[in-house]
Structure 1
């Protein structure tokens, strides 16, 4: 596809994020090799349904050994059984972790390091969109804990295993909704003003994207690349529960979970520059609105807050 058309689709949002935009773009894509992830190991959070489950199924089909990292192991086991039924011979395991609970993240990471020699792919997909402001066991706003603090802590703790891969990859599943929000430098925990779950979600997805180049630089010497991406508008159980009106209005245009998972699979299987934000296999700008632009000092301020909250050193 010509870059100008691709950019036009992206700026229209409705076409770029919906299924028609994907169908137009993928006409020019080549298929991934059927064994593109053969012998690789992948950990995927929030993988018992929706996009996460589709990512797990896709990576298993490409030859990866996949671990579904979930809060509800019963649902995780059911998801693993569905994936192996579809891809006989696939290796799909289930591990329990509440990514919003920093203590549970530490337990999970230490157990993983005890039993796993290396991790090739780490996908931070787990997400929440709460109706009211709630906090994690450590007292952090739940979207921040789930989308930012837990993932950066898990990445830091699992870095030795990612380094042993020789080409470890970390993928943060963000959202195009982050374009509507500036970096919440002065209210990272969303303690002031009227709380809206969709705003909290978008704010923390903005933080994910803002910190992607910081994380990429942090782990570059260990040959670990870090990428963020957004899947477009996808018909998932989470969207049905959290945004029922949006789903009713847009359902004919929504992507399937497998279509939403495509860019993450491509990032897992393809050598691309670290530190960028991707959608439909193409790097995207961090900002479209002038009011969302931030200084490097503000990015650093948010990074230092989040590392302190997660209990890791900032540099």
Structure 2
């Protein structure tokens, strides 16, 4: 049985992906930062699935210590991981920080996944067809990697922070692809489209719900948004597409910034220092 690890698996695209991969016959390790919501999602998977299996592992991507604990738990249970889907993401209308003092969007969307991926790499390398799938966004096209102030202590706005974090997803994937050249691990990135989830909604104040309500008619469902990630996890037609960026199951061009080898290496080195890797 193949093993898949999915971040942000308790809701939205992560939940939809978990259900489909379980029904494909995989064992799905569902990562969630909230135990109650995670358990409810796992219960729903067990009710609705007709194949495969699933389990819950708690992991707050806004905490390096929590990520290390979750990775240790997964690595202890499994010698092999076949698919890792870095799906979780946050949008912060106002500047917030992770437990380690990182700006929230780059902290969760990039640094949390950077650390988790590297900690799980030995297990992924044990798969005959290891796949790392990173959910980015078309927002990377307006993103910049602010080398002098990556945590945006000055001049913060949500678009600037989110664009940077999504660009970092692609730069991370670019350098990771280079480092995994000639191995049995493939790296893919994707844009899921505009999806109706609670991404960007402050659970305490409800900030962001009005935006979702206005645009809900043109949003995709979580299942539609998850389609490309599911395709990349299951398809036998993508072996020659290592390192590519996908939209609607097709390869697409990225921004000029996302193609920078220099920024990809600089981001990697900076990320190693930030995460104490």
TM-score by length of 2: 0.91
1:264 aligns with 2:229: yes
Alignment map for 1:76-87 (pairs within 5 Å): 76-87=38-49
Q: Which has the higher helix share?
A: 1
1:280 aligns with 2:241: no
Secondary structure of 1:238 counterpart: coil
Deviation at 1:88? 3.2
**Which among 211, 215, 222 is matched to residue 176 of structure 2?**
215
Distance 1:251 1:132 in 2: 22
After superposition, give the CA deviation of every residue in 1:256-295 in whole Å (9 maximum; x if it has no partner): 10000000011011233221211111111111xx7x5774
After superposition, give the CA deviation of every residue in 1:11-52 in whole Å (9 maximum; x if it has no partner): xxxxxxxxxxxxxxxxxxxxxxxxxxxx21111111111111
Deviation at 1:185? 2.8
Larger CA deviation: 241-250 vs 99-108: 241-250
Secondary structure of 2:85 counterpart: strand
Distance 1:51 1:264 in 2: 9
1:71 aligns with 2:33: yes
1:114 aligns with 2:76: yes
User: Contact (CA 8 Å) 2:58, 2:70: kept in 1 or not?
Assistant: yes
Q: State the match for 1:248 in structure 2.
A: 213
TM-score by length of 1: 0.80
Q: 1:202 to 1:165 in 2, by over 3 A?
A: same
**Which among 166, 169, 176 is matched to residue 205 of structure 1?**
166
1:54 aligns with 2:22: no
Q: State the match for 2:272 in structure 1.
A: 307
Secondary structure of 1:301 counterpart: helix
1:233 aligns with 2:194: yes
Distance 2:207 2:183 in 1: 38
Distance 1:175 1:244 in 2: 20
Deviation at 1:146? 0.6
Query: How many residues are treated as equivalent by the alignment?
Result: 270
User: Cα RMSD (Å) of the superposition?
Assistant: 1.9
Alignment map for 1:133-148 (pairs within 5 Å): 133-148=95-110
User: Contact (CA 8 Å) 1:178, 1:205: kept in 2 or not?
Assistant: yes
Distance 1:302 1:179 in 2: 17
Distance 1:157 1:61 in 2: 27
After superposition, give the CA deviation of every residue in 1:83-139 in whole Å (9 maximum; x if it has no partner): 221113431100011122111111111121111121101111111112322222222
Distance 2:85 2:70 in 1: 15
Q: 1:277 to 1:78 in 2, by over 3 A?
A: same
